Amino acid sequence: MGASSAAERMGPAARGAREAAAKGVLAARGRSAPWLRRAGAYVAADLGPRVGRMLSDAAQRMEPQHQPVRRRRTAAMAMVGVASAVGLAGALMTRRANTASMQQMMTGPGTQSVPSDVDGQVRSA
């Protein structure tokens, strides 16, 4: 008897509370909808592009640079420089050797040397 009596007394109050809660939820949804709409517009117009740029910037910073190409190019240029220097040194050594052999041929046993003065000038007699 006590429980049914309490249910009879509380029934109208529970119905009123249920109706009030439904009205409150409806009012909250009405206030929240414009806020959510503004938030969605902000994300689409302002925040989304910012986040997109931030992600693109992060991807560019993380992407490895093309340094191996530079290293290969630098190594190739160094090799060309070394090869040029070796070629130049070889050419100079060959020229010196040819000059020395020509001098030996000219001052060899079958030639007469022309006397010169103290200063290295050759005078005719």
How high is the pLDDT of residue 117?
67
Range 23-42 average pLDDT: 89
Distance CA 9, CA 2 (A): 11
Tokens 């009030």 found at: 20
**Average pLDDT over every residue of 75-104:** 86
Mean pLDDT across 82-108: 84
- Of 36-50, 78-92, 97-111, the poorest mean pLDDT is in 97-111
Bigger pLDDT: 121 vs 116: 121
Model confidence band, residue 115 (pLDDT cutoffs 50, 70, 90) = low
Q: How far apart are CA 108 and CA 105, in angstroms?
A: 5
By the 8 A CB rule, do 116 and 122 touch? yes
Q: Tell me the CA distances in angstroms from 53 to 16, 39, 117, one per residue in order.
A: 53, 19, 87
Phi then psi dihedrals of residue 83, to 5 deg: -60, -40
Residue type, 68: P
What is the amino acid identity at position 73? R
Residue 40 pLDDT grade (very low, low, confident, very high; cuts 50, 70, 90)? confident
